[in-house]
Chains A and B, each alone.
Chain A
Amino acid sequence: MQDRALSCEPLVRSNRLAARYPGASVPAISSITFAVEAGQRVALLGPNGGGKSTLFRVITGELAPSSGELELGVGHSALVPQSERSRLDYPVSALDVALMGSVSRLPWWRRPSRADRALASESLRRVGLEDEANTTFGELSGGQRQRVLVARALVQDSPLLLLDEPFAGIDAPSAELLAALFDQLAAEGRGLLMATHDIEQARSWDLVLCCNRVQIAFGDPAQVLTREVIERTYGSSLVPLPGDESLAITPPHHHHHFEADR
């Protein structure tokens, strides 16, 4: 593990955490025991409906744990949702969307200050979109929209970032830029928890949490990501690539929605 992650209070820690949607008979997730420390990049692997979004909802406080413990060291987190689900017909610029992050830090009667606006511009610059600040959000490319949502999370100024499949369906330049940005944010001491389907990418992160309604494994990807763990995480949707030791996940054909997690 990198030395920057040593000896810190975790930004988030859970112990045998379970959560259930209202009216559901079985928990959407259970037995989740993991921690994200400052400076750590943690990949969250799991199939659609495996509870990735549910875990995010519990961490953001939208859904209460039904059993077990969840401790937020900092008290708040910033969520970067999938850009596919955002409204494209809304009359806002990229800068307006970034500035929405300030809402989470302000009481309901306060309007964003000049400092908040400066932070929004600065966050857009960090995601490489300073030239698109005044472009209407719906006119940006998918990758650019995803970067604007990352900028919004930066404006929330939380040490814990929850990334919901940030690389899903985005162009290569945006993906490179985002990957570099995530490394940089971790180096600054932020904790990152990223839901993903990309096992190869998960291998390059500090820790991996495998989850298919229950926790399958948590730890160093080099030790954790065995064939057995991956198969248990993804069920039978695993195919060996011919002439290759690596494994491919058959991609899900439908888009993944919050509802699908219920």
Chain B
Amino acid sequence: MIEWLLEPLSEPIVARSLAELALLGLVSGTLGCWIVLAGRSYSAESLAHSMLPGLVGAALLGLPLVLGGAIGLAVGASLIALVGRIKVLSSEIAVSVVITSLFGAGVLLGLAPATPAGLGGILFGDLLAVGFGEIALAAGYAAIVLAILFVLHQGLLATGFDRLNAKALGRSPAQLDLVLALLLAGATLVAVQALGNLLVVAMLIGPAASARLLTQRIGPMMMVAVAIAWVASLAGLYASYHAELAAGAAVTCALVVAFAAALLIRSLRELLASDTRRRSRGAQSRGLRLRSRRA
């Protein structure tokens, strides 16, 4: 059993993947909580998908993926802003039109004969190919995200709670939105190499969404989210090693299982709570009857 647990970790490939996932988990567990609480999960997904043409373009031209992704993000964000100005369309329609167009364009490019084989790698990432450069990048980015979120914590909390009156408290919701969007775009870029264009969203949103189901305060929510990201990463890597599954997909599956488990725990808790309430209400009304009889 111990050998079963230790053997994968002695593989340098697995150890590096685990280090990368642990750092990405720190980012997604904290930043993801603000994205989930702001109800921006859909935007996060859109943002990630909008950079596909950029990624494929970079692969075509032999440029670093991060550069192509950054250009793709900028183009996607500008298009969304532009289409969002069409008054008849709601912003969600604008986003979905732009994203599906860009994603389709990316797939077309990716399937062109001139493109080096590797659309799969771009869509699903190549977790086991992660090198020290990627790990260093993730570590640096995690430090930046944690520092910024620490400093802005109270402002983000106050603005998220009472957006309408945030300006009366001296905070600009638009500015904080921009900070979160930039941090999210950066996280997508940093994580895309390991997790790919499709799976990166699961890592960014999944742990925070699961943690929201289990916690009632922002601090614990972040800690639980990071813990879920870490446990799912470990579980995914073990499954990948022992059952010879694709690593990124196995981690994503583990995140989905974690979400399902969180949902189940929450439902059970609510069931228990309503049961206790019913019982105590029953006891109260019995008490009332007793008192009224005495009166």
**Chain A contacts to B: CB under 8 angstroms:** 60-62, 77-79, 81, 85-87, 90-93, 96-97, 99-104, 106, 108-109, 111-112, 136-137, 156, 258
Contacts and interface: CB of A to CB of B under 8 A. Distances in A.
B153 A103 contact: no
A39 B264 CA distance: 54
Nearest to A112: B154
Contacts of B216: 91, 136
Interface in B162-218: 162, 164-165, 167-171, 212, 215-218
A109 B171 contact: no
B84 interface: no
A238 B160 CA distance: 39
A109 B170 CA distance: 13
Contacts of A106: 154
Interface in B143-157: 150-155, 157
Interface of B is mostly: helix
8 contacts: A62-B168, A77-B168, A92-B157, A96-B157, A97-B161, A100-B154, A102-B154, A108-B171
A62 B167 contact: yes
Nearest to A81: B165
Contact of B162 (A61, A62, A86): A86
Contacts of A258: 164
Given A103-B169, A108-B152, A91 B212 contact: yes
B221 interface: yes
A60 B152 contact: no
Contacts of A77: 168
Top 9 A-B pairs ranked by shortest CB distance?
Answer: A100-B158, A60-B168, A79-B168, A104-B169, A103-B158, A62-B167, A104-B170, A103-B169, A90-B161
B161 A60 contact: no
A249 B152 CA distance: 45
B145 to A, nearest CB: 16
B70 interface: no
B285 to A, nearest CB: 20
Contacts of B151: 108-109, 111
A81 B167 contact: no
B37 interface: yes
A60 B170 CA distance: 9
Given A92-B217, A96-B217, A108-B151, 5 more contacts: A81-B164, A86-B162, A91-B212, A92-B218, A108-B152
A55 to B, nearest CB: 13
B168 A100 contact: no
B154 A86 contact: no
B71 to A, nearest CB: 30
Contacts of B160: 87, 90
A47 B218 CA distance: 39
Contacts of B170: 103-104
Contacts of A61: 167-168
B33 to A, nearest CB: 9
Interface string B38-80: 0000000000000000000000000000000000000000000
Contacts of A86: 161-162
